[in-house]
Structure 1
Amino acid sequence: MSLITPEFGLLFWQTLIFLLLFLLLAKFAWKPILGSLKEREDSIDEALRMAQNAKLEMQSLKAGNEKLLADARHERDQMLKEGQVIANRLIEQAKTTAVEEASRIAQQAREAIQQEKNQALAEVKNTAAQLSVDIAERVLRRELAEPAAQQNLVDAYLKDIKLN
């Protein structure tokens, strides 16, 4: 016997065992193996479909989020503009109120100054009149210190009365 060439009996038994093993595997093992491979393939396909759906849903959510974010930014900008307008309006109102108040205070001050001026003028007039009366009294006392001068003044008044 040679190591390189097999004998007929060995080939026969090897072929017979191979065919028996093939038939046993075909009857009992191939169907479950192919079934599990098919299941595996189906589960992989399902997982890929689910991943694709999830990817599409994520893109949709991302687009929705970007739209919401853009809307929020727009609303924030709108609120800032409105706040600026309100602040400007309040500033203008405060300025207007301050100008009106300053005008009112200035008018009151003018009126108070005018009243004080009128009071001062009245006081000056009263003082001038009092001084005039005092001066006239002193002049008349000096002029009429003598009884003859008094008599002459009375006579002059009587003449004026008769003439009128």
Structure 2
Amino acid sequence: MDKLVNDFSLGLFFWQAVILVVLILLLVKFAWRPIMTSITAREAGIAAALAAAEAARKEMQNLQADNQRILQEARAERDAMLKEAREIKEKMVADARAEAQVQGEKMIEQAKATIDSEKKAAMAELKNQVTTLSVEIAEKILKTQLSDAAAQASLVDKMLDDVKLN
């Protein structure tokens, strides 16, 4: 430090001060305004970017809220559709069971009617056969008993006696 104080020159100091003042004046005149303008523009750009980021953050929050709401609505709609599908399935199953029950009862009734008609037809056929057999048996018995004239006269007398008694 002693060396600086010992080597001090007033002329050099004066010229350095003059150059410094001129340099500051030139900077103020030509560079200060553009630098300040660019700094101000930069500050405005940063503020606008921050405002845009804040607006985007708020928009994202709104979109997330809307997405949550839409998701809730979609879930509710899906649940409602599943419930409706279950109800339709249960109704279809119940209708099919009822229809099957009705068809089964109808088939049973038709089977009973068919069995009844077959039974009646079989009974009628049986009666016809029994009647035919009875007539044939009676005819054969009568032929054997009425083959001689004395048996015929005896049978006629017997029948006449029965008729008178009634």
TM-score normalised by L of structure 1? 0.91
Identity, in percent, stands at 44
Aligned partners of 2:78, 2:20: CA distance in 1, in Å?
80
Aligned-residue CA RMSD (Å): 1.8
Which residue number in structure 2 is paired with residue 152 of structure 1?
Answer: 154
Q: 2:139 aligns with which of 137, 140, 154?
A: 137
Alpha-carbon shift at residue 56 of structure 1 (Å): 0.2
CA deviation profile, 1:86-139 (whole Å, cap 9, x unmatched) = 011001111111111111111111111111111111111111111111111111
Whole-Å Cα distance in 2 between the matches of residues 163 and 74 of structure 1?
Answer: 100
1:49-88 equivalent positions in 2, closer than 5 A: 49-88=51-90
How many angstroms apart in 1 are the aligned matches of 2:83 and 2:144? Answer: 89
1:18 aligned residue: 20
- Look up the match of 1:90: 92
For residues 65-89 of structure 1, the C-alpha deviation after alignment (integer angstroms, 9 at most, x for no partner) is: 1111110111011101101110110
Q: What per-residue deviation string (whole Å, max 9, x for no partner) do you get for residues 35-92 of structure 1? A: 2111110110011001101110111011101111110111011101101110110011
Give the aligned partner of residue 108 of structure 1.
110
4+ residue runs over 6 A deviation: none
Q: Distance in 1 between matches of 2:70 and 2:163?
A: 109
Taking structure 2 as the reference length, what is the TM-score of the superposition? 0.90
Give the match's secondary structure for 2:8.
coil
Structure 1 SS opposite 2:147: coil
